[in-house]
Amino acid sequence: MVPAGILFEHPSSLEHDPREQLAEHPDTPQRIEAIDAALSGAGDLGWQRRLAPAAQRAELEAVHEPALLDRIERLCAAGGGQIDADTFVGEQSYRAALHASGGATALVRALCGGEARLGFALLRPSGHHAGRTRAMGFCLLNNVAVAAALALSQLGARRVFILDWDVHHGNGTAEIFRRRADVLFASIHQGGIYPGTGALADAGSGEGAGYTINLPVAAGTGGEVWRSLLEHIVIPAAAAFAPDLVLVSAGYDAHRDDPLGGCRLDTEDFAQLACQVRDLAVRAGAPVGLVLEGGYDPGALAACVLATMRAFAGEGAAQSIAPEPIYTARAASHVGHYWEL
């Protein structure tokens, strides 16, 4: 029996706990525990569950400088500490990060190898803020970037589309691929908050000009704006790009209940985003892999993960939405220089 998808997980995700260094830190193991509880309560969804391996050093060095890896490993081996104002590690954090990246690489190996058309790396710590030389924003290693680079260099992928719907801009991913034309990176995010990057006018550089799509929105923005930007800006560009692999940096902190974000999406909005991306992937004939990013209200996070898993597996229909007159028109005036919308 072909599984609906493959789910990668590892116990080390529960061992990384920044509260050992900062008691009130919002990135807690309870995030994974809430997801596990929701999956257990949902019954058999038809997904095959696998343990995530640890990433190999060469896979990590494809996107990160060796000195960064050494610094994180040494800090954890010494018992942990503070990397920046937001990022803390304990003794087991580097191990957790290796498995988080390893789950993402195992995910693309399975997808590119034809084992499944859908997968989810449900692991932490998150990764989309981590750059070539810097860990930041709760992120140690850039899991989705490591996976995309591996798919392109070793697994036969020629064009990878990465969608980041975390409320925070995926600055690390954007910078890693900003000069490349074989990765289309699109981010819908709240502007004016951490990390302060992701301006609409930033479309990449060099050979990668046009292959970065940044779509910032204001605090208080609801699902209708996010869905409009996805349907009328991102999806047409991604369809023209014709990816053979689709990856999603799946953060859920744009949910209205999240304590760190200021947007107003609900669970059904995330299901609709998933339906749109699912249908794009079907039309492109590309498999889809999701990599967990943010989401700091455990209940909302768990509900959204479950809803998007169901949507990507085929449940529900994408509902078209009219173009939002301000954000979508403004975005089209920029993105339309590079892509026919």
Q: pLDDT of 66-75, one tens digit each?
A: 999 999 999 9
Query: Any residues with CB less than 8 A from the CB of 40 and at least 6 apart, and which?
Result: none
What's residue 273's pLDDT? 98
Q: Is the dihedral of CA 221, 222, 225, 230 positive or negative?
A: positive
> Is residue 129 annotated as a catalytic residue, yes or no?
yes
Residue among 129, 168, 255, 334 flagged as catalytic:
129
The answer to whether 159 and 242 have CB atoms below 8 angstroms apart is yes
Token pair for 191: 């502007």
Q: How far is CA 292 from the centre of its chain?
A: 6
What's residue 74's pLDDT? 98
User: Which residue in this structure is represented by tokens 């990765």?
Assistant: 183
d(CA 232, CA 146): 29
- 172-211 in b/e form (b: 16+ CB < 10 A) is bbbbbbbebebbbbbbbbbbebbeebbebebbbeeebebb
- 249 beta partners: 164, 291
Degrees to nearest 5, angle at CA 177 with 172 and 179: 130
Token pair for 66: 């060796």
User: Which residue in this structure is represented by tokens 């991913």?
Assistant: 173
User: Which residue in this structure is represented by tokens 């954090």?
Assistant: 93
d(CA 170, CA 266): 21
CATH class of the domain at 5-335:
alpha beta
Kindly give the pairing relationship between strand 5-9 and strand 118-121: parallel
* SS3 call for 184: strand
Residues of the chain falling short of pLDDT 50 = none
Per the omega criterion (within 30 degrees of 0), is the bond before 125 cis? Answer: yes
Q: Which helix (H) or strand (E) holds 150?
A: helix 143-154
d(CA 325, CA 306): 31
Q: Which helix (H) or strand (E) holds 5?
A: strand 5-9
Domain coordinates of the chain in residue numbers?
5-335
d(CA 232, CA 336): 11
Task: Name which of 227, 176, 185 is nearest 203 in CA terms.
Answer: 185
Dump pLDDT digits (tens) for 300-333: 999 999 999 999 999 999 999 999 999 999 999 9
